[in-house]
Amino acid sequence: MEEKLKPSTFSNCWVDDLLNNYALRLKALMRSQKTIDWYADILREYYGFLSDNNMLKPIEQLGSQELNAYLLYLQERDRWPNNKYIKDKGKLSPFSIQGVVRAIKAFWNTLLKDGIISENPLAKFPLPKVPKNLIQTITVANMKTLLNAVDKSTPEGERLFCILLTFIDTGTRIGETVVIKITEVDFQQRIITVTGKGQKQREVPFSSRTRKALIKFKDGSRNKLCNVESDYLFPDKYGNHLTIGSVQQAVRRLAKKVGVECHPHLFRHTFGTTFIANGGSPSALKEILGHESFHTTQKYIHLKAEDLKLQHEKYSPIKDIFKDD
């Protein structure tokens, strides 16, 4: 049985020891490297703040006082403090700050489970409140504008067109979409085997219109993008899968070109919201989007004002009362 680490065994680098062990735990739980890096970045920035402000203490002595000080700092900090190329940086959003607290509380909970600390001083630390805004979506008109603006005469353009169709038609995350392999697409049954968070796989349907575009791309432009064999549906010129950043940049450029506010995850929000508005069941949506809990799916169960009006006119009891008028 692996021996549990104790605070007294740490050298001056005990922070690195703790974080390295935490990263190994997350990896053993099959968390994605992106998730592991996210936790690591947040925790190292937190410890950096404590160190810079002479607040760093033995782990068992850190608690809500230090975290409160850090939250006050985050509320005033720019979003990209170390990026000289971004001029209009703005402040961290309430959602980002809440995410920081969630990450730190999760780490402290692990310290308790592993016997590093005897009690968790952050167990009852409240999460910062976030505004309850409706999920932002993109209109049908704007989606048409974006698709029509893609130059499909080039292999790169046709690839972007098919990526956008996949976003719109399946609600897949950008990280899931770029790693889709040819063997994971059943063109006959119109099903993609998507690898989601925690390496969990799910089957996601797609429409006949998307099937037609994907087959055309697979048999044509895809072969012109790279000179080597590639496993991926959307390869780069070296046969590797596209990076998340490259797709984000391509979508931003296209959106700026036509004057539409858009980013890749907006298509996922739009798919989820439209699926429900058009009569799709929440349970089916949960499976398609790959949510672990129904709580996550519930955020899509709302209708826009115009949808509410149509539903109201169709189902209001007042219609039955005066149906003979």
Quick one: tokens of 234? Answer: 């959307």
Domain coordinates of the chain in residue numbers?
7-113, 140-309
Residue 142 has what pLDDT?
93
pLDDT at 319: 59
DSSP string, 274-286: HHHHTT--HHHHH
Q: Give DSSP secondary structure letters for 231-283.
A: SBSSB-TTSSBPPHHHHHHHHHHHHHHHT----HHHHHHHHHHHHHHTT--HH
The CATH fold assigned to 7-113 is DNA polymerase; domain 1 (1.10.150)
pLDDT given at position 255 = 93
What's residue 116's pLDDT? Answer: 85
What's the pTM? 0.66
pLDDT value for 4: 36
The token duo for 243 is 């990076």
Backbone angles phi and psi of 155, in degrees to 5:
-60, -40
Q: What are phi and psi of 78, to 5 degrees?
A: -70, 155
Strand order in the sheet with 191-195: 185-186, 191-195, 201-205
In angstroms, rounded to a whole number, what is the distance separating the alpha carbons of residues 324 and 212?
49
Angle ∠(88,90,94) on CA atoms, nearest 5: 155
Q: What is the residue-level pLDDT of the chain in tens, covering all 325 positions?
A: 333 333 333 334 467 788 888 888 888 887 778 788 888 889 989 988 998 898 888 888 889 999 999 999 988 876 655 555 445 556 778 888 888 999 999 999 988 888 888 889 998 888 888 776 667 888 899 999 999 999 999 999 999 999 999 999 999 999 999 999 999 999 999 999 998 877 788 999 999 999 999 999 999 999 999 888 999 999 999 999 999 999 999 999 999 999 998 889 899 999 988 888 787 888 888 888 888 877 778 777 765 566 666 666 666 665 565 565 5
Task: Sort 285 into a burial class: Cβ within 10 Å, 0-12 / 13-18 / 19+.
Answer: buried
Q: What is residue 304's predicted lDDT score, i.e. its pLDDT?
A: 58
Under CATH, which number does the domain 140-309 receive? 1.10.443.10
